[in-house]
Amino acid sequence: MSASPAVIASLRSSNSFRVTAAAGAEAWAPAADRPTLPADEVHVWRATLDPGDARVSRLETTLEPRERERAARFRFRRDRQRYIAARGALREILGRYLDAPPKRLRFQYGPQGKPRLASEPPSGIRFNLAHSDALAVYAFTRGREIGIDVERVRPDVAGEGIERRFFSVAEAEDVTGTPEDSRAEAFFGCWTSKEAYVKARGDGLSLALDAFTVSTRAGEKLRLIYAAEAGETARWAFERFSPAAGYVGALAVEGDGWRARFWEHRIP
């Protein structure tokens, strides 16, 4: 069963967020102005989406008409500005890798909306993005499909039985069998891993979340345990990460033999 937009929206509430120096378990380091992306690395970036009105206005000038039109459809100003900031930051980061002005970048979209560069550069760079509240995360690879997801851990949502509606039977049993004090983190750890996989494939809401199974047990290596399509379990590698205190994130990356590095993007 695919997760409905309403369920997804309920997981992505709009409470305020600020990155703090102590937030997250990973070392989120400032990157070089022109970072290099080796084929055996996955670069994960985080950014805050409340940089201030002046910065949001500047970022809006870098967007394509399609992006500005989508921004205009948001009902609430805060959501509109965060969308602009998320897309503008994506352009800034891509511009650093490609040594190109952010406003000159052009995107094309898959059948379910997964973005990629309209003219793929010789570098073969691939990317994906996600956000929760005012926290955005971005993932970049060279020549590998990739998906990323992030969610704020919300015990109230994790206790609504969503796992029995959208997870596989094995996943739902593992989550509900987790001790209560860590059940919310187990739920969102599973959710983000599944979302990252769906996004890496570019399937969007067309792939039922209960049609595949990821590992959910504490201490167990994150991996795809079951998928209906032959070869899928060997095709993908996963990693969970902590983008900030109270948040969980996950990566799904095509192939193995890579390591993740974590960078901080500060919108100038």
Residue 233, Cβ neighbours under 10 Å: how many?
A: 14
Separation in Å, CA 31 to CA 36, 46, 93, 179 = 10, 11, 10, 39
User: CA–CA separation, 249 vs 69, rounded Å?
Assistant: 29
Give the gyration radius of the chain's Cα atoms.
Answer: 18
Please name the residue ranges forming H helices in the chain. Answer: 5-11, 53-60, 65-72, 77-98, 155-158, 162-166, 169-176, 180-201, 232-235
Q: Over the stretch 58-106, which tens digit does the pLDDT of each residue have?
A: 999 999 999 999 999 999 999 999 999 999 999 999 999 999 999 999 9
pTM: 0.90
In tens digits, the chain (268 residues) has pLDDT values of: 555 444 544 454 444 444 443 344 568 998 889 999 999 999 999 999 999 999 999 999 999 999 999 999 999 999 999 999 999 999 999 999 999 999 999 999 998 889 999 987 667 899 999 999 999 999 999 999 999 999 999 988 876 788 988 999 999 999 999 998 999 999 999 999 999 999 999 988 788 899 999 998 777 889 999 998 999 999 999 999 999 999 999 999 999 999 999 999 999 8
In this prediction, residue 220 carries a pLDDT of 81
**104 phi, psi to nearest 5 deg:** -90, -10
Q: Over the stretch 236-247, which tens digit does the pLDDT of each residue have?
A: 999 999 999 999
Domains and CATH numbers, the chain: 1-49+125-268 (3.90.470.20)
In this prediction, residue 219 carries a pLDDT of 75
Q: Return the structure tokens found at 70.
A: 């989508």
User: CA–CA separation, 147 vs 226, rounded Å?
Assistant: 18
